[in-house]
Amino acid sequence: MSSKHIFDSPQGLVLKSLRGAIALNPSLRLHAPSKSVYISPSPSTQGPKRRLAVISGGGAGHEPAHAGYTGQGMLSASVSGDIFASPSAKAVLTCIQLALLHLGDEGEKEVLVIINNYTGDRLNFGLAIEKARALIPGLSISSVVVSDDVSLLNSPTPSLIGARGLGGNILVCKILGAAAARGGSLDQVKALGEAVVKHFGSVGVGLGHCHVPGRTKPSETEGEIGEDECEIGMGLHNEPGARRCKLGSAEELVGEMINLILTSKEGGFGRFGGGGVGGDEVVLFVNNLGGISQLEMGAVVDETLIQLEKLDIHPLRVYSSSYMTSLNAPGFSLSLLNLSAISRELSGSGTFDILELLDDPTEATSWLGVRSNWPISSLSHLRPTNKSTRQDKTNELLPTSISLSIDSTTPAPASKSTSSWYESADISPEQVRRGIEGACSKVLEVESEMTRFDTVVGDGDCGETFAAGARAIQSALKEGTLDISHSNPEELVRSIGEILEDSMGGTIGALFALYFTSLSTSLSTGTPLTSAPLTALHALSTYTPAKPGDRTIIDALQPFCSSLASGTQEGGGLEGAVRAARRGAESTRGMKARLGRAVYVGGGERPDEEKDGALPPDPGAWGVAAIFEGFWEGLNAV
C-alpha cells in the first residue's frame, strides 16, 4: 500500500475536505459542527412539487461520497463522520433538520434516509430517525438500507447484519433523489428504493489495502495483501473478503466477479434469476475504490461488457468513476441493477421509469453519467436544473425554519414530581447515585480485561470505549450536570443515554443511546421499572438483529431484562437479574461472532484459539454484566 499523504494527519482533514467540496457548488452550505452539507434554501430550490428530502452519509474516507452527491436532483443534505467512523446520531439529526430547509415552511415534511448496511451506520442513523420522529412536529421519516455486496452471502456462517453496502449506494442515491425531485412521496420513493436494493448486486476486489493518514503502516505479517495476490469481496474499510487468491488474468478476475453476482443465493441476481438474466434490461455500475488508474478502469469496463455480452446481458446504461472510494485503495467493484426485475415487482404502480430517473439532471458535482443519446425509446424530456444562491449562515436559518434548534434534543420534562417518585419507590436519590458510581467504577475495573478480550476477537477498542462512557458519567455527576435529586427515572435515563452517545461513539455508543432512549420513552408512558427494560430491548431489536447466542451485548442484556420482568431467577428482583446477566456474559466464552466487525476481523482467522472454547467472552457482554454488578453493589453499599 502507499502510505504517503499530502496531509499526514487526520486532524481537521475531514472539515477541510468538506469545505473544498462545497466550493465546487454555489448552492451548497456546510454546517461544520455536524459535518453536514446541505442545499441552501431559496425560492429556486423549493419547487412546488417537492415534498420529500433525501439524505445519506457515513464515515469519511469514501469521498466524493456523500458531499459530492448533495445538490438538486440527488441528496438534499449529507453528513460525514470521521475517517471510517459513522457520524453520531446528533450529527445525523442535524442533517435531517438541514434537509428540511430544502422543503420550505409550508406543506408536508417528509425525509427518506439512505443508509449503507454497516452496524454503526444502522444504529446511529436509526437513533437519529427515532429522535426526529419525536421532536419534529408533522414529520414523516423512513429509511432504505443499501446492502448490495453479495460476496459473503454464501459464507458457511454469514453475518446476521446481512450484505454490506458498497459503491452501489451512490446509484441508489441518484435514483431516489431524482424520484423525490419529481415530486414523489415518501411511501412511493421508499417502495422504489426497496425494490432497487432487492435487485442490485455488487462484488468488490482489492489488490491491496488503503492507508489512513496518520496511522503507521502495517507489516506484511499484519494482513497486507501480497504483491501477487488479490482479495475478492474486500469491504470499504479493508475488511476481509470472501477469499484471497493469486492475481491471475483480468479476464478470470472479472469473470469470477460477474459469476458471484449472478449466482448468489441470497443477493444480487440469484434472488430472481437463478443464475441468469438473459434478455433482462440491466445497468452496469463500475466503482473505482480510489487507487486504480483510469487507463485500467476503462479496460475493466470493456472486459466486463465483453463477458456480459457472452451471457446475453446487454446493459442499457454504463457508469464508471470513483463514486465511493476507500481512500487510496487499489481496487474496484462491479454492480448490476436488474431493471426488468424491478419493473416486474412494481408492476401496476407506473410511478417511475428508472432510466428516466438516471438520466434526470442533477447539480451534484460528482455524479458522472451521460444523459442523452442512449439507444432506447423511453428517454423523457430533460428538465432544466434549478439554480441556487448562497443564503444566510446555518445557525441563523435553523431556529426560524424549524421548530427546534440543533442541540434541542430533550423532550418536555415529565409531569410527575421527582420527590414523590422516590418516596413511592422506597429508594433515595443518594442510593441511586451510589449505584451509578458503582457501575462506573466496575467498568473501569474491568477495562483492561475487556481490551484483552477484544484484541483477540475484535479491533481492540471495546474496553477503551466503555471506559470513556464511565468517565463521562463520573464527570457529569461531579459537575452536577447529571442531577439525580431533581430527575425522575425517565429524565435520568434519558440524560445518561445522551452522555453515553456523546462520549462512547461507534457502534456500542449508538447501541447504548438507542437503548436508553427507548427505556426513557417506555418509562414516560407509565411502564413499570421492572418491565420497562424488556420493552426497551424489544424496541432496540428494530435496529439490530442480534439475539442471545450471537456473541453481542444482547447475551447479557436479554437475560437481565427477562429476569427482571419475570422475577423468577434465583434471589428474584434486581439481584437475580444481575446474576442472569453474568451467566449470559459467561456463556459467550467460545462463541463465534455473527454480528459487527468482529465477524470480518476476528472470526475464523485464529483456529488455534477456538479449540475447546478458548475464545474469550464477548467484551461487550462482559462490560454490560460489569455495569449491572457495579450498580447492584453501589446501590447496597452502606
Count of helices and strands (H, E) across the chain = 22, 12
Provide the 3-class DSSP secondary structure of residue 488.
coil
Which pLDDT value is given to residue 201? 93
pLDDT score of 19: 97
Yes or no: say if 495 and 525 are a contact pair by the CB < 8 Å rule: no
- List of residues 6+ apart from 126 with CB closer than 8 A: 115, 143, 510, 514, 542, 543
CATH number of 418-635: 1.25.40.340
pLDDT digits (tens, 9 = 90+) for 239-282: 777 888 898 899 999 999 999 999 876 544 654 344 445 677 89
| Predicted confidence (pLDDT) at residue 399 exceeds the cutoff of 90 | no
Other C-beta atoms lying within 10 Å of the C-beta of residue 228: 9
Q: Is the pLDDT of residue 319 over 80?
A: yes
pLDDT, residue 214, reads 79
Give CB contacts under 8 A, 24+ apart, made by 530-536.
Answer: 530/564, 530/565, 530/567, 531/564, 531/565, 533/560, 533/561, 533/564, 533/565, 534/561, 534/562, 534/564, 534/565, 536/561
The pLDDT of residue 123 is 92
Specify the pLDDT at position 575: 93
The catalytic residue positions are 237
Residues 104-154 have pLDDT tens digits of: 767 779 999 999 999 889 999 999 999 999 889 999 999 999 999 998 776
* C-alpha to C-alpha distance for 55 and 99, rounded to whole angstroms: 7
| Residue-level pLDDT at 481 | 92
How far apart, in whole angstroms, are the C-alpha atoms of residue 633 and residue 582? Answer: 14
Count CA atoms closer than 13 A to 119's CA, side-chain side: 23
CA distance 517 to 511: 10
pLDDT given at position 369: 84
What is this structure's pTM?
Answer: 0.75
Q: Domains of the chain: which residue ranges? A: 13-198, 202-210+224-336, 418-635
Fold of 202-210+224-336: Hypothetical Protein Tm841; Chain: A;domain 3 (3.30.1180)
Asked if the domains 202-210+224-336 and 418-635 are classified in one and the same CATH topology, the answer is: no
Rounded Cα–Cα distance for residues 210 and 104 (Å)? 41
Res 221: pLDDT: 46
Q: In sequence order, what are the beta bridge partners of 244? A: 231
Please check the confidence at residue 381 and state whether its pLDDT lies above 80.
no
**pLDDT (average), residues 45-50:** 58
Model confidence pLDDT, tens digit, residues 172-224: 999 999 999 999 999 999 999 999 999 999 999 999 888 888 776 655 545 67
pLDDT at residue 49 above 80? no
Please say if the pLDDT value at position 530 is more than 70: yes
For the stretch 210-242, pLDDT in tens is: 888 877 665 554 567 888 888 898 888 877 778
pLDDT, one tens digit per residue, over 424-480 is 777 889 999 999 999 999 999 999 999 898 877 766 788 989 999 999 999 999 999
Residue pointed to by grid coordinates 437475560: 559
Q: Which three cell numbers stand for residue 136?
A: 419534529
Helix (H/G/I), strand (E/B), else coil: 218 = coil
Write down the mean pLDDT value for the chain. 84
Contact 621, 555 (CB under 8 A): yes
Whether the bond into 209 is cis, omega within 30 of 0: no
Instruction: Tell me: pLDDT of 325 over 80.
Output: yes
| Strand ordering across the sheet containing 77-83 | 28-31, 36-39, 77-83, 52-60, 109-116, 139-146
Residue 46's pLDDT is 54
pLDDT at 608: 44
Tens digits of per-residue pLDDT, 584-620?
999 999 888 777 666 655 443 443 444 445 789 999 9
pLDDT in tens, 475-527: 999 999 999 988 889 999 999 999 998 898 778 888 999 999 999 999 988 89
DSSP-H helix ranges across 89-237: 89-100, 119-135, 168-181, 186-198
Measured at the alpha carbon of residue 298, what is the angle toward residues 262 and 321, in degrees to the nearest 5? 80
pLDDT digits (tens, 9 = 90+) for 384-395: 333 333 334 565
Q: Does domain 13-198 have CATH number 3.40.50.10440?
A: yes
Query: Which is more confidently placed, 325 or 568?
Result: 325
Starting at the edge strand that comes first in sequence, how are the strands of the sheet with 317-321 ordered?
243-246, 229-232, 200-206, 331-338, 282-288, 317-321
3-state helix, strand, coil in the chain (%, to 5): 45, 15, 40
Please report the pLDDT score of residue 598 as a whole number: 60
Distances (CA, A) of 587 to 186, 287, 458, 601: 43, 42, 18, 21
How sure is the predictor about 45, in pLDDT bands with cuts at 50, 70 and 90? low
